[in-house]
């Protein structure tokens, strides 16, 4: 190849290399210029915290003085006596709060709804108002509405009161049922989350030592008995102190439950056993069940809707020995001056939350 041809090829390669470098540099300069207008350095912006969390943030807030708002966490400590206003964002909102405010139809509590939020106001709160306050969005499909579990927000509110370390109760002697298949709770809740409490038996006097397996304390619930047994029966109370004289809670009667959950166990009998025309007869339907378990009764009998009868409901707690307690529920159907139409089959249907039992007895003329 001739020398002048080699020299031309070398110049062409050099020009191409310089052009590529300049193109890369111009592209880099253009990117930097668009990222930093005016030649100033700028930081890349991160998404706002609220936009990243989205629905996980609570919509339950407390209205403070001068229009300020405080987003409530899992627990909140407030001072008694000062009115509390809570708000929950949304157009269709439901609320829950300590049940006794409904039980006693307390006029201190009011709830109002607007286009953008719902408002709960509690005036003159006291230690007794300590409890869980929650709100949720209600979603509707036509006429059917339900609670949106993903948009439910709650805060346990403590109204601290040095004179009432335990949440006051309208019941001065409560019954707690012990079952071998589930935990039991002695509900001595406190008004300050940091208060240390202890559980005591009245007779014989002794403290029940808390531990992490059998007995634990939750300030929002009380003492939790993980594996209740019959030897924990008796009268108990809780004790707490906070820079002063110890305070004692409501007393609790702990009773051990013998009858397991299930449909009612029913027996049916008539008295007297021998019946003649003109006699007065009582037909008794008896159910043994758990102490707090309600039972409903229905009757079918020969003179129904044609003869007058009297039906009486009774129930009582019975100690069946070895620390076991059972509720005895009875429905007694009374027929006066038995007539021919009254003889025949008497049917009792007993029902609880677990099922229904049907039993029959026949009354014949002797």
pLDDT in tens, 326-339: 789 999 999 999 99
pLDDT of residue 217: 92
Instruction: Delineate the domains of the chain, giving CATH numbers in brackets.
Output: 57-159 (2.60.40.10), 173-257 (2.60.40.10), 265-363 (2.60.40.10)
pLDDT of residue 34: 42
Whether the ω angle into residue 303 lies within 30 degrees of 0, i.e. cis, is no
Q: How far apart are the first and last CA of the chain?
A: 142
Rounded Cα gap, residues 100 and 189, in angstroms: 14
Determine the average pLDDT of the residues in 196-225. Answer: 89
Task: Name the percent of the chain lying above pLDDT 70.
Answer: 80
pLDDT of residue 293: 82
Determine the average pLDDT of the residues in 285-306. Answer: 89
Are the C-beta atoms of residues 78 and 129 closer than 8 Å to each other? no
Is the pLDDT score of 295 beyond 90?
Answer: yes
Rounded Cα gap, residues 263 and 154, in angstroms: 36
pLDDT of residue 329: 93
pLDDT of residue 38: 45
Is the pLDDT score of 263 beyond 50?
Answer: yes
The beta-strand segments (E) located in 30-159 are 60-63, 69-71, 75-78, 84-89, 93-96, 109-113, 117-122, 131-141, 144-159
Per-residue pLDDT tens digits for 175-193? 888 888 789 999 999 999 9
Per-residue pLDDT tens digits for 61-111? 999 877 789 999 999 999 999 999 999 998 899 999 988 787 667 789 999
Determine the average pLDDT of the residues in 260-278. Answer: 85
How many other CB atoms sit within 10 Å of the CB of residue 287? 27
Encode burial over 306-334: b for 16+ CB neighbours within 10 A, e otherwise. eeeeeeeeeeeeeeeeebebbbebbbbbe
Q: How confident is residue 291, by pLDDT bands cut at 50, 70 and 90?
A: confident
Q: How confident is residue 138, by pLDDT bands cut at 50, 70 and 90?
A: very high
Residue in this structure with the two tokens 């069946």, named with its chain if needed: 320
pTM of the model: 0.61
């Amino acid at each position: 190849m001739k020398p002048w041809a080699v020299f031309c090829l070398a110049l062409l390669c050099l020009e191409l290399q310089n052009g590529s470098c300049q193109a890369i540099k111009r592209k880099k300069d253009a990117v930097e210029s668009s990222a930093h207008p005016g030649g100033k350095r700028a930081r890349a912006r991160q998404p706002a915290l609220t936009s990243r969390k989205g629905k996980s943030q609570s919509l339950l807030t407390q209205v403070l003085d001068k229009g300020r708002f405080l987003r409530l966490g899992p627990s909140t400590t407030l001072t008694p006596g000062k009115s509390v206003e809570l708000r929950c964002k949304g157009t269709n909102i439901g609320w829950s709060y300590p049940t006794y405010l409904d039980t006693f139809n307390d006029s201190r509590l009011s709830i109002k709804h607007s286009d953008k939020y719902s408002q709960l106001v509690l005036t003159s709160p006291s230690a007794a108002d300590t409890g869980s306050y929650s709100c949720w969005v209600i979603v509707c499909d036509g006429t059917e509405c339900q609670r949106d579990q993903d948009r439910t927000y709650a805060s346990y509110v403590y109204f601290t009161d040095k004179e009432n370390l335990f949440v006051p109760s309208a019941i001065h002697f409560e019954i707690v049922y012990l079952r071998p298949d589930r935990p039991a709770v002695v509900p001595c809740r406190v008004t300050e989350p940091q208060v240390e409490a202890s559980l005591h038996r009245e007779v014989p006097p002794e403290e029940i030592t808390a531990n992490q397996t059998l007995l634990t304390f939750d300030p929002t619930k009380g003492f939790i008995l993980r594996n209740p047994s019959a030897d924990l029966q008796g009268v108990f109370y809780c004790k707490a102190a906070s820079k002063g004289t110890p305070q004692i809670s409501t007393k609790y009667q702990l009773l051990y439950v013998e009858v397991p959950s299930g449909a009612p166990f029913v027996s049916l009998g008539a008295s007297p056993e021998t019946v003649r025309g003109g006699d007065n007869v009582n037909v008794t339907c008896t159910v043994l069940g758990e102490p707090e378990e309600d039972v409903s009764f229905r009757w079918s009998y020969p003179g129904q809707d044609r003869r007058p009868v009297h039906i009486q409901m009774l129930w009582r707690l019975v100690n069946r020995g070895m620390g076991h307690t059972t509720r005895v529920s009875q429905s007694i159907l009374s027929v006066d001056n038995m007539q021919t139409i009254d003889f025949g089959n008497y049917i009792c249907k007993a029902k609880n939350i677990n099922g229904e039992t049907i039993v029959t007895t026949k009354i014949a003329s002797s």
